[in-house]
Structure 1
Amino acid sequence: MTMETSFLSVLALTSLLFCSTYQVHLTVSPSSSQYFQGKSVSLSCEEENSSAGWTVWRNTTIRRSKCGDGWGEIKGSVCVINYILKKDTGVYWCGSINGSSSSINVTVGGSVILQSPVLPVMEGDDVTLSCRARNPTHNLPAAFFKDGVFIGNESSGNLILLHVSSSDEGLYKCNIRGHGESPSSRISVKDKPPATSKAPPPTSSPLQLLLTVFRHLMVFCPYFISTFLLVSICRNKWPASNKVCGGQSVQELEERVEDVTKQHHL
């Protein structure tokens, strides 16, 4: 295998890994999984670096198509549905030559809708489900159901799921007496990422401290003592500071002892 072939192989593998980890997600504004007919809804593809090259797609009971192909209006990097209708109910996602994002379900209701999170919620979080009537717009008492089973009445029209877990996953809907029932929306719960905690600093036992001191003494003392003895001998033999002892002046040897002492204290 030539060097050029090896380089191209590595480049291809790197590109493959890059594309497989390419992250983009679809956002919806206002953030809800259900809407009343006639509302304006904006969808955009968001990626860490830029949204260039990504297009909003959908799959409805009619056909699979991209924004601008018979539905929606492209405004920059945003796809706007100015007047959403029941026929716009379907699965939406972002697509490009690099792959596709995870999909979300958008439902267009009639007289009653259930406002719930669009994306999967994090395990342990609190989640609010709001049951709303088209008219009147103020909150009304509502009954809530999970997987077709009644789970409670809420006078405010809001059901709060505390510290959600996988057992809270399912299809939810609500009913407002005299107004009707909402479509169903699925609540999905994703695992909470493991907490990253810093390891506590190691504690030193008295024995470890004693061994550390002893080790420093073993390293420092022989050099210090030998140098000190050499200076003492030279000083007694040659009192004048300009004399040379062992190739060095007595003054230099004294300075060395002083430097070693300072380094040990540091």
Structure 2
Amino acid sequence: MEVTSLCIRLLMTMLLLLVAQVNFNYSQKADSSFPQVVPNRQQHFEYESIDVSCEGLEGLTGWRVMRKIKRVIKTCSSTWSTSTGPCTINNAFPASDSGEYWCEMSVKKSNTVNITVTAGSVIMGSPVLPVMEGEAVTLSCRQKQTSTNLTTQFFKDGHLMEKSSTGIMTIHNVSKSDEGLYKCRISGARESPESWLALSLLFYVGIAVFLVALLLLVGLLHYRKHQTITRDTLMSPSSFQPLPSLQTVPEEANVAVPSQTTYAVVTKPRRERVPEEANVAVPSQTTYAVVTKPRRERVPEEANVAVLVPDDICWCVTKTQNGER
């Protein structure tokens, strides 16, 4: 049960994260975390007017438009006191206005957009913001002197992608493989600068979260199915096997049952206590034998007995009354 509850909590958390990512994707699509650029394109002709605004970003006001030009970070407006609110660039110039732009307020900071100002005669219109996968993206090639449709070539990462007689190329169902540097070239004129076409990474985050949640759900269902099968198997009547019956052995039969233990009773004879005065041998102790020694006849003391010895040695044994020899 604990494992099941944990899986359910993880699944719910993943689903909540997925919903949050989807909501954030829609907020990205509504351009709520990027500065607003008018005209809505990355490339601009020299001396054009460009408006960059952060008003309403995250429902807040008082944002400052910041920019980074040649590694120098400063406000879009000329002075700090007037830097809040929209920033209008009149007579844009390539050296002073091409760079990265973003919104900033206290510790908050938005995503950045790129603006390119060119002194050339051709620009390519491409989205300022990242596009969502599956959407259709339109690229247009424009010439400064005329708006007449001319034969146009579109390039991606230096390779020819398409030729168009209308100056427009549409990428249907854009995918990750469509990211890259794009430019266009008009016949009889120069080519435009390159601009990066980017895809929003949040789409892939949402897909990853969804796949993780799906895997957790499949694992949970498989676990519950396994638990159900195991429980049903244990509760089925066929799983209960009757125990083998024990045969009754008559009391008269002196037969040992193999499955039981046989005991033997050994009686040890009791050892009787013998009084100290009695000089009786105990059966369990050492056994003594009485040996009868033949009686030695007493020889009268007055008798002298001579012992025959060799000629060179002679002993004489005489007993006195005191028993000395």
Same fold, judged at TM 0.5 (above): yes
Deviations 1:92-132 (A, max 9, x none): 11112132111011001221001000000010000000000
Query: Residue 25 of structure 1 is aligned with which of 29, 34, 52?
Result: 34
Letter in 2 for 1:59: K
- Alpha-carbon distance change, 164 to 182 in structure 1, aligned in 2, over 3 angstroms: same
* Map of 2:136 onto structure 1: 126
Q: Is the 8 A contact 2:141 2:184 kept in 1?
A: yes
* Map of 1:10 onto structure 2: none
* Map of 2:268 onto structure 1: none
CA displacement at 1:140 relative to structure 2: 1.9
Check if 1:143 corresponds to 2:153: yes
* Map of 1:182 onto structure 2: 192
* Map of 2:92 onto structure 1: 84
Letter in 2 for 1:83: N
Q: Is the 8 A contact 2:75 2:83 kept in 1?
A: no
The TM-score normalised by the length of structure 2 is 0.49
Moved more, 75-84 or 137-146: 75-84
Q: Is the 8 A contact 1:112 1:179 kept in 2?
A: yes
Q: Is the 8 A contact 2:76 2:83 kept in 1?
A: no
CA RMSD after TM alignment: 2.5
CA displacement at 1:168 relative to structure 2: 0.4
Letter in 2 for 1:102: N
- Alpha-carbon distance change, 76 to 164 in structure 1, aligned in 2, over 3 angstroms: same
CA displacement at 1:25 relative to structure 2: 2.4
Larger Rg: 2
- Give, in whole Å, the separation in 1 of the partners of 2:57 and 2:33: 4
- Give, in whole Å, the separation in 1 of the partners of 2:103 and 2:36: 10
Q: Which runs of 5+ in 2 are unaligned?
A: 1-23, 25-31, 211-325
Letter in 2 for 1:60: I
* Map of 1:165 onto structure 2: 175
Check if 1:49 corresponds to 2:69: no
1:109-258 residue pairs with structure 2 within 5 A? 109=118, 110-190=120-200, 191-192=202-203
CA displacement at 1:133 relative to structure 2: 0.5
Aligned residues: 172
- Give, in whole Å, the separation in 2 of the partners of 1:63 and 1:43: 18
CA displacement at 1:76 relative to structure 2: 6.8
- Give, in whole Å, the separation in 1 of the partners of 2:90 and 2:104: 22
Moved more, 161-170 or 136-145: 136-145
Q: Which is strand-richer, 1 or 2?
A: 1
- Give, in whole Å, the separation in 2 of the partners of 1:142 and 1:70: 42
The TM-score normalised by the length of structure 1 is 0.60
Q: Tell me, what secondary structure is at the counterpart of 2:66? A: strand
Structure 1 outlier segments of 4+, above 3 Å: 73-76, 191-194
CA displacement at 1:81 relative to structure 2: 0.3
* Map of 2:102 onto structure 1: 93
- Alpha-carbon distance change, 70 to 47 in structure 1, aligned in 2, over 3 angstroms: closer
Q: Is the 8 A contact 2:134 2:174 kept in 1?
A: yes
